[in-house]
Amino acid sequence: MLDAGTGIRELGLELERQGVTRMDLLISHCHMDHLQGFPFFVPSYNPHTHIHIHLAPRGAGPPLSEPFHRLMEEPTFPVPFHHLGANIQFHEVNGDTRLGDVRLRSHPVNHPGGCLAFRLEYRGRTLVYLTDHEPYGGPKDDAVREFTRGADLLIREAQYTLAEYQRKRGWGHSTFDDAVTDAVAAGVKKLALFHHDPEHADQFLERELIEVQSRHHTPGMEIFLAREGDFVELGVELGVELASE
């Protein structure tokens, strides 16, 4: 699971129906829109469930669990984190590790307070999740593009239009054009645009997708808008279900 926005509520109900009791949750960063669904994640109340939560190292600061405790403390939520029934363990993301048969790599991206992109590789297929990133405008962008190279699916945030970005420089987010040009340069096969701005209605997003496709030549790359409940098949029994934040 990638982040814990509001979409994780429906995912939790489905995992309970399927009887899944062991899961890994990768947290890109601890801003509210990426955590706020966790208090409503039903498996976290199940004493038979094991949840491994992976976050960026916090150094000599508070423990890794601290954002979750604060999220569920009074008066904002009635059930404190330490009352959850599941066996929940926290792990530092160290850049390159394995989760069972999946190789997990992480890479820092440009966002206030920090953020991690994740690359998951399994049986010849690659998924990259890159959220909350504003291009650096310099050599560091090459490293970010290289991290996504050849991905079968890149889930990439594209919050702003070009005009909107002029008013919101430094907010830590990308444009539609940033996402597409970087994906083309990295040889990505499928690009799912997400982290939609709350002020962008569905029709607006559809128009922007058509316009950005007309501005860029993208042979061999499929571009689409991430939608609640979409399922993307990557082959070798690997699929990805998309949920909202």
Domain ranges within the chain, ordered by starting residue: 1-93, 96-245
Angle at CA 55, nearest 5°, toward 120 and 170? 90
Residue 198 neighbours by CB under 8 Å, 6+ apart:
none
Helix boundaries (H) for 19-138:
66-71
Query: For residue 1, what are the CA distances in angstroms to 12, 22, 36, 52?
Result: 10, 11, 14, 10
Token pair for 172: 């830590």
Where do we find the tokens 């939560």? 53
Kindly state the tokens that stand for 92: 């530092």
Both structure tokens of 156: 């990439």
Q: What is the pLDDT of residue 239?
A: 58
Give the three-state DSSP class for 131.
coil
Q: What is the pLDDT of residue 79?
A: 96
Please state which architecture CATH assigns to domain 96-245. 4-Layer Sandwich (3.60)
Q: How does pLDDT run along the chain (245 residues), one tens digit per residue?
A: 999 999 999 999 999 999 999 999 999 999 999 999 999 999 999 999 999 999 999 877 789 999 999 999 999 999 999 999 999 999 999 889 999 999 999 999 999 999 999 999 999 999 999 999 999 999 999 999 999 999 999 999 999 999 999 999 999 999 999 999 999 999 999 999 999 999 999 999 999 999 999 898 888 899 999 998 899 988 765 556 666 55
CATH class of the domain at 1-93: alpha beta
How far apart, in whole angstroms, are the C-alpha atoms of residue 185 and residue 142?
10
Residues 130-154, buried b or exposed e (16+ Cβ, 10 A)?
bbbbbbeeeeebeebbebbeebbbb
What pLDDT shows up at residue 241? 61
